[in-house]
Amino acid sequence: MERADRRGIVGRGVRVGLLMACAPVLPWAALALGVALVEVLRPGGDTPLAARDLRYGGLLTGGSLLAGVLMGLVLAGGLALVSRVVTRPGGLTLVAALLGALVFPAALVVVAIGTDGAVAQIGTTFLAWPVMTTVAAAHGSDIAGRTRRRPWLWPSGPAQGRTPAPRMADAAPERPHRAS
């Protein structure tokens, strides 16, 4: 596999991993940061509670980013290996769904740590598991580089890792333009 192609697979996998981790976790981070702001601004606010909520928001934000990168690397690595054997997009979709289902518990761990085991937040994030598995399945062929159905996964402009061909000067002299 060409080096630029490997970087492309990893980039696309990480983008999907970040989507899978951040979509269900970042709303809880925003809620924690909003509660911290309310605790600081209200009269007689509780500063230790605001500090705790600020810590939870930071844990949820940083944890979801880390989990997303790790989830994307597992997705990209698994699909890169399997794409050597599996040639049909349906097979890649199935493998991506399986990998997505296996890596999503990382987001559950982040929510459990960032909320001190709050049942409502963990339960709601648990309900996102099949949705995020479907997201991984839908993007599997694009991550592996077999299709280009999702334009947000593919960079615009010249291909990554390739430099444009050098331009040669024309040997023909320029013709003067007629004045109108």
**Could you report the average pLDDT of every consecutive run of 10 residues in the chain (180 residues)?**
66 91 95 93 88 94 96 93 87 93 96 93 95 93 80 64 53 61
What pLDDT does residue 67 have? 96
CA separation, residue 71 to residues 36, 172, 177 (Å): 29, 55, 60
What pLDDT does residue 98 have? 96
Residue position matching structure tokens 């949820």:
60
Give residues with Cβ within 8 angstroms of 63, minimum separation 6. 25, 109, 110, 113, 114
Which helix H or strand E contains 73, and what residues bound it? helix 47-82
Are the beta carbons of 71 and 106 closer than 8 angstroms? yes
What pLDDT does residue 5 have? 63
Measure CA of the first residue to CA of the last residue in the chain; give whole Å: 56
pTM: 0.78
What pLDDT does residue 60 have? 96
What pLDDT does residue 173 have? 59
